[in-house]
Structure 1
Amino acid sequence: MTPSAHLMMSWLCGASTLTTKRERILITVAGLTPDLDGAGLLIDWLSGTTRYYQQWHHIYGHNLLFAIGIATCAGLLARTRRGCVWLLSFIAIHLHLFTDLIGSKGPDGYQWPIQYFYPFNNTGFTWQGQWALNAWQNQLIWLLLVLLCIGYIKRKDISFFELFGDKLDSAARALCTRFLSRYTKQ
């Protein structure tokens, strides 16, 4: 699944329940953190000789222990409804893992295994029906996520752009509102 899909999916986890921006951002960031283990890509690009991305991605950040740790951090950083933030962060991380499991096959056909019980067990889980990262299923899921996010702008006047600052959030909501008022019946 693409980072933008992970972002929208994670934000929707918090937007569905929480009314505070801080808690929604904590859950969204938690849902994105599994891909921190992809930082090896930058190191590989800079060095030109390492293969950290191939060695680390879907291992260090894509497991149960990491999910518990990140959800706990999110819960502790929350100012209100800490238990709810912990649970929704845990769910957002698992949605990330699940969508990677079902739709992250590489262009060469390689299926990224999810080492869910790492470091206790190095068994990698894959699903034989896994579709490619650019497959129509992922594109359809991405489109549905965009439509759900637009629905939140229309109904609750909030958007995932709140992660990037008030000015960008206001501009995105205004643009969406103008578009919706122009092309839909009120």
Structure 2
Amino acid sequence: MQRIEFLNYPASGQLPGLLWGIRIDGTDLRTYTADATRDLWRQEREEESPAENELFLLHQHGGLALREVGDPVRHFLGDPAPEFADPSTGTTPVLGCSCGIWGCWPLLTVITTTPDTVTWSSFRQPFRKEWGELPMGPYTFDRAAYEAALANPVRLTEDPLEPDGETTP
């Protein structure tokens, strides 16, 4: 089983409020997404330098705004508010767009729960249907540890992908 950490960190730039972030086994979910989409983006981003592409890949997604998610327990257990739900695919957004509008570029996943586990699988980018299911996951978590991490998110002073992002006590 994997280990999950839920994070709360300030939005960058002009965006107000805090965001939900996620680490799986100590790695930011955006890093896994960058790895899963690197080859898919290569055709669309031929003009960019390797350094620009890596920066783009890591920051193609941002966290979900706390004020938007509402009830994080329901959301991250696969029962999101209607504005987040996609009944046709059974998916839930776990990352939003780095612009601050979650629906602009979400990362969607199917969240399946049992009494003992929570599993994230079938990651998709809804605006690139031709990409299909992204090559990441499934990630399975112990449900008790998952719910404990969700109830006590790690508080950060900056985006964890920024060079100076630090945990606050």
| TM-score, normalised relative to structure 2 | 0.33
Higher strand share goes to which structure? 2
The structure showing larger relative contact order (alpha-carbon pairs under 8 Å, at least 6 residues apart) is 2
Whose Rg is larger? Answer: 1
Higher helix share goes to which structure? 1
